[in-house]
Structure 1
Amino acid sequence: MWDRSRDGDAQEDPTRRTVLGGTAAVAVGGLTGLGALAASSEPAAAVEGDPAAFEAGDAPTVTSNDGRIESVYLSPALEVSWTDFSEGVERVTLSLAVGSDAGVDEVYREALTAADPAATPGDVASVGAPSGDRSGAVSDAPPDFDAVDGALAARFERADATARGDAVTSETLSATDLPGGETRTTTLDVVFRADVAGGSDEATVVRTTTVDLTVENPAGDATAGGSVGIDTA
């Protein structure tokens, strides 16, 4: 199980926040102001759940003689809520990005709309009203976009973050030249953003989680291999 002690509520490294804050410059059309919570009193939005639950066997370490991390999987499931939207909500845009010192890649970006509340565009696996247990589960009922105070739950298809851009890739995460008996750690930021808009009302909320991926090259002639899986299921 991955260490979640460095969730978005904890003190964050300014260097890593700088990387995420520069997303718009790294990828045209990317997330503007990534890594910063847009402050607003009325209306407001909130996110329940973790952008990704991190699991890779028993520990966030890949043991491999060739030093390779082949894949990093994500399948987030979250609940987005809004309050004080006087005319209800017209659109909720959900984005998720992964960043390292090598840059930031956008993994997901999908818009859910009141025009078709049950639609599951692109990488959205399911969307509906929240189940009520704060788990990110999706009920069979569609979300009520007309609600002044409302919420929706969305689950995304599993995606390999290393295949979604040029920054967080198998090559940048791997350590093929790692000497025997040594390790190398890469810190990844997973950032989820929800933009809620309806009538003249808008609100944005951002959640972040940070995880360390460690590659270990065992000493001697030990051989092992594997890939990293990141799942919320």
Structure 2
Amino acid sequence: MSDHSRNGDSPDAVSRRSLIGGLAAVAGGGLAGLGALGVSTEPAAAIDGEPAAFEAGDAPTVTSNDGRIESVYLSPILDVSWTDFSEGVERVTLVLAVGSDAGVDEVYRETLSASDPSATPGDVASVGGPDGERSEAPPDFGAVDGGLTARFGRADATARGDAVTSETLSDADLSGGETDTTTLDVVFRADVAGGGDEATVVRTTTVDVTVANPAGDATAGGEVDVDAA
């Protein structure tokens, strides 16, 4: 595992930029200009929501044991909105991927559909109207300008693939007083389609996962800190 707190040279920076592109591809297809609100001017889509919830869940949780990162939990709440869909929206596909220099794993991929607007498939814990209307009422997919709020159930990112795992995040050989940090790139993508119109939006963020062995007691186990930026 690369230690970004001790090894922030330019090759790592290049690697991270390449990884972001790979994450977007895993999340449904490569895009130019990540972070833009949409790839089409009309119609358009956007992602919003509580930044902390987007980045690492309601209560960012990382567990460790003897210098190992055992779990990294995510539970995002996302507000997805659309504009200028003249015939309304037929489906909204939501994808969240997490990656490091070791590779990329897809954590969530779910499709919400106008055919069953109240359905909560797979990892979707609840779905409702747009921001400010988080109730039991289902979203109005038929709205020309509309939106929805999707709350995802907690998922352990280390258990969803082969790249972001306990092994790639851990460092059991740290000396006393040393730390080892892995920066996880998080990409969320929403694809909105209806009536022959389509719009796509991507948001990116990072979460730093750090293992630290206290000075003077390097074998007593690790302390874990999560920093989202």
| Alignment TM-score, normalising by the size of structure 1 | 0.80
Superposed CA deviations along residues 146-168 of structure 1, whole A, max 9, x for unmatched, are 00000000000100000000000
Amino acid paired to 2:188: F
Q: Counterpart of 2:116 in structure 1: which amino acid?
A: D
**Structure 2, unaligned runs of 5 or more:** 1-12
Does 2:48 align with 1:77? no
* Within-5 A mapping of 1:88-103: 88-103=88-103
Q: Which amino acid in the other structure matches residue 185 of structure 1?
A: T
Q: Is the contact between residue 211 and residue 224 of structure 2 (CA under 8 Å) also seen in structure 1?
A: no
The whole-number CA distance in structure 2 between the counterparts of 1:104 and 1:21 is: 11
CA, structure 1 residues 227+180, in 2 after alignment: closer, same or farther (shift >3 Å)?
Answer: closer
Q: Is the 8 A contact 1:72 1:227 kept in 2?
A: no
**What is the deviation of 1:14?**
4.7
What residue in structure 1 maps to residue 67 of structure 2? 67
CA contact (8 A) 1:53 1:230 kept: no
Higher relative contact order (CA 8 A, sep 6+): 1
Partner SS, residue 168 of structure 2: helix
2:187 match: secondary structure = strand
Once residues 42 and 131 of structure 1 are traced to their aligned partners in structure 2, the CA distance between those partners, rounded to angstroms, is 21
2:55 matched to which residue of 1?
52
What is the aligned partner in structure 2 of residue 4 from structure 1?
none
Q: Number of paired residues?
A: 208
TM-score (norm 2): 0.81
Structure 1 stretch displaced more, 39-48 or 221-230: 221-230
Aligned partner of 2:165 among 152, 169, 185: 169
Equivalence for 2:4: none
Q: Which has the higher helix share?
A: 2
Q: Secondary structure at 1:69's aligned position in 2?
A: strand
Taking only the aligned residue pairs, the percentage that are identical comes to 71
Residue 108 of structure 2 aligns with an amino acid whose one-letter code is Y
Aligned residue in 2 for 1:129: 129
Q: Is the 8 A contact 1:126 1:138 kept in 2?
A: no
Aligned ranges 1:1-16 → 2 under 5 Å:
13-16=13-16
CA spacing shift, 1:171–1:228, aligned 2, 3 Å: farther
Q: Which amino acid aligns with 1:19?
A: L
The offset of 1:24, in angstroms, is 7.5
Structure with the higher strand share, 1 or 2? 2
Asked whether 1:22 is paired with 2:25, we answer no
CA, structure 1 residues 99+220, in 2 after alignment: closer, same or farther (shift >3 Å)? Answer: same
**What does residue range 147-166 of structure 1 map to in structure 2 within 5 Å?**
147-166=143-162
- The two structures, once aligned, show a CA RMSD in angstroms of 2.7
* CA 75–228 in structure 1, closer or farther in 2 if over 3 Å, else same: farther
1:207–1:139 distance in 2 versus 1, CA, 3 Å: same
Aligned pairs (5 A) from 1:129-208: 129-132=129-132, 138-208=134-204
Closer, same or farther: CA 230–215 of 1 in aligned 2, 3 Å: closer
SS class of match (2:130): coil
The answer to whether the 8 A contact 2:188-2:202 is kept is yes
